Each structure stands twice: as C-alpha cells, then as structure tokens.
A and B are shown apart, each in its own frame.
Chain A
Amino acid sequence: MAKHETPFLDQLESGPWPSFVSDLKQQAEVRAKNEAGVEFQIPVDCVEDLLGVVELSYKHGRTHWKHGGIVGVFGYGGGVIGRYCDQPKLFPGVEHFHTMRVAQPCGKYYTTDYLRSLTKLWDLRGSGITNMHGATGDIIFLGTTTPQLEEVFYELTHNLNQDLGGSGSNLRTPADCLGSSRCEYACYDSNALCHFLTNEYQDELHRPAFPYKFKFKFDACPNGCVASIARSDMSFIGTWKDDIKIDQDAVAKYIANDEAYPANAGAFRGSRDWGPFDINKEVINLCPTKCMWMEGDELKIDNSNCTRCMHCINTMPRALKIGDERGLSILVGAKAPILDGAQMGSLLVPFVEVNPDDDYAAITEIIESIWDWWMEEGKNRERLGELIMRQGFQKLLEVTGIEAQPQHVAYPRTNPYIFWKEDEVEGGWERDVVEYRKHHLR
C-alpha cells in the first residue's frame, strides 16, 4: 500500500517508454520490504515521500524544492548540491535531500562489480535514486541527508578509489565520447586525454578558482557526439591533416548496393525504403565543398579543399577512412544562452598533436594561458565566451600567443573600424603640428 496517493503520476506508468514512476514505485517497495537487510541511514520511506512531493508538484504545477548552498564535503567547493523540501511535515523522508556528483569513468564503461559497489553504498547511505548520468556527465546520487555526505565521500575515496565531480565555480567534471575505444572515426584517444586532464586539474575541479563554471568536453571526431562545440568552454574535437583514405573496391561495393555495404553503415535500415544507394546524389552532391568526383569507376577527392565534415565517411565507412596525421582542433567559449545569448565554440587552435608522451604539453599550455587570462580579467559569473566577446578575439590570440590565421574567421570583418595600436603605425602618434602648418595654412 503506497504511502501517498499519486493519481497524476500513475498516468505516467502507461505507454511503452520506461516509466520513471514505475521505477520509483519499485524502489519504494524494495526499501519497504528490505529483503537485503540494509540498515538504511536515511528514512526508509524517502522514495515514497519523493513520489509524494512530485505528485504535489503535478497538482500545483510548481516545484517544492529549495536550494541549499552550505552543505558539501570538507574542503571541496563543489560536488554537492543542497536540496530541502518546502513541505517537510508532509514529506519528512525528503526534508533534506542533497545531490552528490560522482566523477564518471571516461567513456562511461562499467563493470557490474563496480556498479554494484555504488548501488550498495547508495542504498545504505542515500535514497537509492540516481541519474545515469547528469547533463555534465557525472553519476548523480540523488537524495541524502547532511550527516551522510562525509560518510559517502569517505567510503567513495577509501573503499572505491572514487572521487566526486565538480560544481560551482570550478572546473566541471570533463566528459568525452567513447573515442578510439570502439569507434573507427576517432582521431585521438578521447578517454585517455579526458582522464589525464581530469586528474591533472583535480585542484581546479574541487576548489573554486574561477569567475564561473568551466567545462572541457572531448569529441574524438567532427561528428561531435558529446556536443562539445555547443556546451564547453574548451572543446577538443578530433581532426586530421592528410588525405582521406579510399578503398576503391569498397566504393564499388557501395555503388553496387552490396548487402554488406549499406549506406551510412545501416542508419537507414528501417520501415522506409529510400531506394538504391546513389553515390552522386547521396555523397558527391552533398559534399559541402564539392571536392569529390568520379573518374570512371574511381572516386576522387581533392583533399586540399576538404573541410572534414565527415559526411562521406559516415555514409561509406567501409570505403573511406580518416587520415593518418591526426590531432585535434580546440574551440573555445561555447555556452548556453544565459545571459547574453548562446555562443558556439570559436576555433582557436586549428590543429594540435595529441601527445601522451609529453603529458599533452601543447594542450595544457593553451589551457593554462587561457585560465590565467580569465582568472585575471573575467568578471564574477562571466563565462570565457563572454570575456572573449568583451575583450575581443585578438586579445585571446595575444594571451595564448597564437598567430591570427584565416581559419579563425568565417569571413573577415565587415567594418573598417580597426583600433590600430600606436606601435602598429609607422612613426607612432606623436607628430609635429608646427611642421604640418608649414604646408597647411590655418
């Protein structure tokens, strides 16, 4: 028998998509029965009360949570978000119901042993409700009381070799795509780079140093599966410099509509029949730079005009492969619209090698020069992208020591209002007006 009636939420149990309501109800029941004999450290009926408070929100059309800023684990400025219910008498089980962010492993691979160690800990010391995963990438533990925060942290660090993630004005937990672990498009090992930088910058991740949040995300190719270009202050996107590798026999198989060579690796295998694959219509004519053509049976690519958009490779993955001279591009300043409007990442470094042997020195050098500038000049709650807007892209080039190049712009400026600096103009700005007047009467 449920503790609270939930007529609104009950209507979210039907339909095919996995119902979070059914899952919460199942969890409430498992806790109530407690067949595993867990000595619950927070109220056993907290999930019942969670259902109750969410039902009340469905009735009111308003949230019933309050923010809390004080709670955390000692010495860390992030990783915990305080939450309190604004109806604690009705729902005492969730009166204090804080979130903990647990740093996820790069690539989000898990063993069941490890996941079970997490669920065991969270059943004992929390609600047993999680997000797999939060928007930034962390494993989210949803709902525990203040005294349990340190206990969870102690167990994570001592028994599970596992740290918390970031929140607040910190480096946020970096996140990556699965990269070369299981993807042939990967131009670098995103798992390795993400893991290295996450560990390299643990101090920045846990102890606030910045004017605002700062996000790294790692996409191993321009397909951008973790959306780094849209949502990270520094976006690391894999790319290559040399030629796309072509297997002409495989090209022929695609053209012949061979069963084993489906268009776009089978992405269109569904209820619609798009007709036979047509290389002209589906690849050559859709190439954004029109740098591909057929010469007899041979597919040709003018690689000097290729912008590596991935379309041809995605469409014929068995025939076309990324080049061998691989690295990544760094784009900076992406953010969601709050406050001055959304910003996409802007290209800062067209190509840098990804070299684990020197601890990615070329990359960390750029990161640290940007941080030094932003920490010094950034206003409170100003994202990197907004600082770049305020002080100019040229300033960004100056602080990172990067030469301006046409790759930096979609097109050159459309106004001539260049604020020339004195040292850029021959003879400087000090002039002799007396000499001038000898030739120009007053």
Chain B
Amino acid sequence: MAFISSGYNPDKPMENRITDIGPRKYDEFYPEVIKKNKGKWSHHEILEPGVLVHVAESGDEIYTVRVGGARLMSTTHINEICEIADKHCDGHLRFTTRNNIEFMVDSKDKVEPLKNDLKSRKFAGGSFKFPIGGTGAGVTNIVHTQGWIHCHTPATDASGTVKATMDELFADFQDQRLPAQLRVSMACCLNMCGAVHCSDIAILGYHRKPPMIDHEYLDKLCEIPLAVSACPTAAIKPAKVTLEDGTEVKSVDVKNERCMFCGNCYTMCPSLPLADTEGDGIVLMAGGKVSNRISDPKFSKVVVAFLPNEMPRWPSMTDAIHKMVNAYSNGANKYERLGDWADRIGWEKFFEVCELDFTHHLIDDFRQQAYMSWRQSTQFKF
C-alpha cells in the first residue's frame, strides 16, 4: 500500500494548519420538517414500541422509528444505515444519547415500508441489524465503555456483557410492559469513563488484585515519581529491590491493603499490570436514576459485590439481572422506577424478592458517606 498524503507536511506542522473549528453545525443536518418546526412542537405519541410521532403546532408530523445497535459499529454497517436513510428518509437520521439510531419520515404511509425494511435485515450470524424498540416503559439500549476491544484497564469486556444482557432483555426492548423505563449501563472498570452510577441497573467491571510489579523493567520503562503520584490512595512508594541475580534496581512498593484497584498506576507505568483472570469480574448496582420525575435523581447501590468473568456470555450476571427485572416488573407500581420501588419496599425486601444474597461487602465502609447508608431507625422489615 502506497502512502497517500492528505496534504499534511510533517516537516512544517503549522503550515496551512486549521484548528479550533469545532463540530459541524447541527442545523446543516436537520431534516426539513425539523428545520421548519423547531421550537414549535405540540406533542408526541409512542404509537407502538419503537415508533413515535411528533406533531407540530403547524400540523406537520414527523414519524420516528428507533432501532437498537451495538455502539461498536463498522463503516460497512454505517454505510448500510446511510442506504436505509437514503431510501426512506431523504438522507437524514440521528443517533440518541443511548446509542440508538432514529430513522425519521414525514408521513405515516412511509412508516410501514421503513419498518419492514429494518426488520428484514439480519447479520450473517443471525442477529437483527436494526431491532425496533427502546421506547417508553421498557428497556432501552445500554450505554457502555470499550472493554477488551480497546481499553488498557478493563476488568471485563463491555461489548460482550452488553450483547449477553440485551439478548436476555430483548423482549423488554421491544415491549413496554414494565412499570417505568429501565436504564441499564455498563462500565468496564471503576473509573467509569461511561458514568453508570445513576442507572436502574449498572454493570461494572471490577479488579480485585493489586498490580503486579515488574521490578526488572520498571525503572527502564517508567518514571517512578509519576507512578507514585498516579495512585489516588498513596499506596505506592519508591523502593530499592534486589533481583534474583543479585542486582539492585530502583522500583516501587505497593501497600496492597490500600489499593482500590483503579489501574491509574498502570496507565502511567506499563510495569504495573493489573488484569487477572480470577481477580477480575463484575459488580452489579441498581436503583439509580437521573430524571427529576416524581423523585430526586439518585445513585445506584451495589447489590452484587462480585461475579466472575464467565466468557463468552456471563450467565451468572444475566441471571441476576433477569431476576431483578422480573421482581421489579412484578412488584412495582405504574410509573415507579426501580430505585423508588426498592426504597418503598425496603432494601431488605429487595434482596428477598430478587433472590440475591446480602453479604458484608454490600455495607458501605468507604470514607464519609458510609454512615449515611447505615440504618438509624427501628423501622425495618423481618
């Protein structure tokens, strides 16, 4: 393959350089009916799971068909999305915050052909390319992080856990039978580059072993002060270490009991790898929300302290999620989010009806806020 220059001159990086131009302007991409009716929408309606109509004050309508998708997406797949949007939607589409794709048409008669086209497209392996759903009182797409596809500190995979979970919850992606919307999120380590801490159900990758120390190479590959200062709990100190062959090298010492398994040291220093087959796995959290509807936004709580990584489909994890969704569906009132339901029945009941074990790991002991979560009342259920 011959190198093709874009016009960039590596010897003069500032020559003709264009910077600070930001993203493309949103209104270049609005469909006509959006452009015309922006700010003048009257109301909307979900006609069936995954299909919405928005009605403007002018009487104009826009029909939206929402489909799920893996956020990890090839250009081949994006080109196919473009082909669909060209065929049905005058070359416009949008993505939602939760990795769904929205195809919009300006009249009702265009909806069925669009839906039929979307439903007919499957990957060679058999899964849907464009499953319709993700609206209303159901499960929508999972927001997630990179995992083993591209991250250096994940404790689990993201795309795989998400695929396994969405297969398990697929009926609820295409239905609206739940008491309220149910948002599932996934982050592959505690740094949560996808913030999952306010989700109805959160899947979180978690390491449980402090980093290994590659003493022989550490001082060659890393700057020790940077490794030391990378640690948020001050668990790393400079140390002199004698190797097996008797040579003394500069390295570090990790105070294991202070380690919170964040991997920040590995980011700074490749001689402090963290990943471990048995040590790494999944934490499940539940009961968070970001909406201000009825009750305040709230944080998710840890409900399963650890599950092992069970490749490729994480059955213990999907089983626990399945149990939570079912118990919530059976027990909650209409409009009640998972966390509001758990608060109402009490978390002691939550563990009972979800058939989840309560262990000492689930009692907070991290810094100030721990006390707030202990029970300061005689009101509890047996």
Is there direct touching of A and B in the complex, by C-beta distance under 8 Å? yes
Complex contact B73–A264 (CB within 8 A): no
Closest chain B CB from A434 CB (angstroms): 45
Cβ of A400 under 8 Å from chain B: no
Given contacts A182-B62, A341-B367, A380-B229, 15 further A-B contacts (CB under 8 A): A63-B154, A65-B151, A107-B26, A109-B26, A129-B75, A130-B72, A151-B5, A152-B6, A163-B21, A203-B20, A230-B288, A264-B137, A269-B46, A338-B262, A340-B368
Q: How far is the CA of A161 from the CA of B151 in the complex (A)?
A: 29
Provide a sorted-by-A list of 13 A–B residue pairs whose CB atoms are within 8 angstroms: A13-B124, A18-B68, A18-B128, A25-B124, A41-B1, A109-B29, A109-B92, A129-B73, A130-B74, A147-B3, A269-B176, A271-B175, A340-B368
Residue interface bits A103-143, CB-to-B below 8 A is 1, else 0: 11111111111111011001110001111110111000011
Given contacts A11-B313, A22-B124, A63-B153, contact A119 B29 (CB under 8 A): no
- Contact: B71 with A309, CB < 8 Å? no
A337 to B366 CA separation, bound complex (whole angstroms): 11
Nearest to B334 among chain A residues (CB) is A274
Which residues in A have their C-beta under 8 angstroms from that of B176?
A: 267-270, 272
Instruction: Report yes or no: B126 in contact with A198, Cβ–Cβ below 8 A.
Output: no
For B26, B29, B145, the residue with the greatest tally of chain A CB atoms inside 10 Å of its CB is B26
Question: Any chain A CB within 8 A of the CB of B375?
Answer: no
Which of B79, B167, B288 has most A Cβ within 10 Å? B79
- Known contacts A11-B313, A20-B72, A108-B94; A61 and B293 CB within 8 A of each other: no
Which residues of chain A are within 8 angstroms of B20 by Cβ–Cβ distance? 163, 202-203, 206
User: Assuming the A-B contacts A158-B6, A337-B190, A338-B191, are A269 and B166 also in contact, with contact meaning beta carbons closer than 8 angstroms in the complex?
Assistant: no
**In the complex, A392 has a CB within 8 A of chain B:** no
Whole-angstrom distance between the Cβ of B10 and the nearest chain A Cβ: 7
Say which residue of A15, A122, A155, A173 sits within 8 Å of B163 (CB atoms): A15
Instruction: Tell me, rounded to whole Å, the shortest Cβ–Cβ distance linking A155 to chain B.
Output: 5
The answer to whether A17 touches B77, judged by C-beta atoms less than 8 angstroms apart, is: no
Docked complex Cα distance between A61 and B43 (Å): 48
Residues in B neighbouring A152, C-beta threshold 8 A: 6
A174 CB, min distance to chain B CBs, angstroms:
9
Contact with B along A1-32 (1 / 0, CB 8 A): 00000001111111111111111111100100
**Set of chain B residues within 8 Å of A317, measured between Cβ atoms:** 43-44
B277 touches A20 (CB 8 A): no
Q: Which of A203, A260, A288 contacts B295 (CB 8 A)?
A: A288
A54 to B181 alpha-carbon distance, docked (Å) = 32
Assess whether A286 is interfacial by the CB under 8 Å rule: yes
Q: List A18-76 residues whose CB lies under 8 Å from chain B.
A: 18-27, 30, 39-41, 44, 47, 50, 54, 57-67, 69, 74-76
Contacting pair A14 B195 (CB below 8 A): no
Contact A132 B71 (CB under 8 A): yes
**Nearest Cβ on chain B to A323's Cβ, whole angstroms:** 15
Chain A neighbourhood of B167, CB < 8 A: 15-17
CB interface residues, B 136-191, toward A, < 8 Å: 136-138, 143-154, 157, 159-160, 163-164, 166-167, 170, 173, 175-177, 181, 187, 190-191
> Across chains A and B, which 10 residue pairs bring their CB atoms closest together, nearest first?
A13-B125, A267-B136, A270-B176, A22-B123, A15-B167, A266-B46, A135-B194, A27-B74, A103-B23, A57-B148
A66 & B270 in contact (Cβ 8 Å cutoff):
yes
A 167-223 contacts with B by CB, 8 A: 173, 175, 177-178, 180-184, 186, 189, 191-192, 195, 198-199, 202-203, 205-206, 222-223
Q: Give the docked Cα–Cα distance between A76 and B14 (Å).
A: 12
B76 within 8 A of A: yes
Q: How far is the CA of A17 from the CA of B25 in the complex (A)?
A: 33
B238 CB, nearest partner CB in chain A, Å: 19
Q: Which of A8, A180, A266 meets B45, CB within 8 Å?
A: A266
Does A350 count as interface, using CB distance less than 8 angstroms? Answer: no
Interface residue from A11, A158, A308, A337 paired with B192 (Cβ < 8 Å)? A337
Residue of A nearest to B10 (CB): A150
Q: Mark A243-274, 1 if CB is under 8 A from B, else 0.
A: 00000000000000000101011111111101
| Cβ contact of A158, chosen from B3, B18, B99, B366, cutoff 8 A | B18
Q: Nearest Cβ distance between residue A315 and chain B, in whole angstroms? A: 8
**CB of B39 closer than 8 Å to a CB of A:** yes
What is the minimal beta-carbon distance from B92 to any residue of chain A, in angstroms? 6
B170 — which chain A residues lie within 8 A by C-beta? 15-17
- Pairwise interchain contact B92-A112, C-beta atoms closer than 8 A: yes
Check if A132 sits within 8 Å of B99, measured CB to CB.
yes
- Give the CA-CA distance A62 to B154 in the complex, in Å: 8
CA separation between A66 and B81, bound complex, in Å?
32
Q: Find A16's partner among B128, B143, B270 (CB 8 Å cutoff).
A: B128
Q: Which residue of A lies closest to B193 (CB)?
A: A135
What is the CA–CA distance of A65 and B291 in the complex, to the nearest angstrom?
Answer: 36
Decide yes or no whether B381 CB sits under 8 A from chain A: no
Q: Decide: B43 and A12 in contact? CB cutoff 8 A.
A: no
A residues in contact with B243, CB < 8 Å: none
B352 within 8 A of A: no
Partner of B72, one of A112, A129, A136: A129
CA distance A132 to B192 in the complex (A): 18
- Nearest chain B CB to A270 CB, angstrom units: 3
Instruction: Check if B23 sits within 8 Å of A195, measured CB to CB.
Output: yes
Scoring B79, B123, B293 by chain A CB atoms within 10 A of each residue's CB, the highest score goes to: B293
Q: How far is the CA of A58 from the CA of B99 in the complex (A)?
A: 24
CB B265 to nearest CB in A, in angstroms, measures 11
Chain B CB within 10 Å, residue with most, of A154, A266, A308, A381:
A266
Q: Report if B312 contacts A (CB, 8 A).
A: yes
Question: Complex Cα distance A22/B124, Å?
Answer: 7
State how many angstroms separate the Cβ of B317 from the closest Cβ of chain A.
14
B335 within 8 A of A: yes
Q: Which of A23, A154, A266, A271 contacts B7 (CB 8 A)?
A: A154
B39 touches A269 (CB 8 A): no
- A248 CB to nearest B CB, Å: 16
Of B20, B91, B144, B187, chain A has the most CB atoms within 10 Å of the CB of: B20
Q: Bound complex: CA of A380 vs CA of B2, how far in Å?
A: 44
- Take A65-B152, A157-B19, A337-B190 as given contacts and tell me if A20 and B70 are in contact as well, using a CB distance cutoff of 8 Å: yes
How does the 8 Å CB contact mask read for A71-106 relative to B, with 1 for contact and 0 for none?
000111000000100000000000001010001111
Q: Which single member of A11, A44, A206 contacts B19 (CB below 8 Å)?
A: A206
CA distance A205 to B74 in the complex (A): 27
Contact of B299 among A99, A137, A157, A342 (CB under 8 A): A342
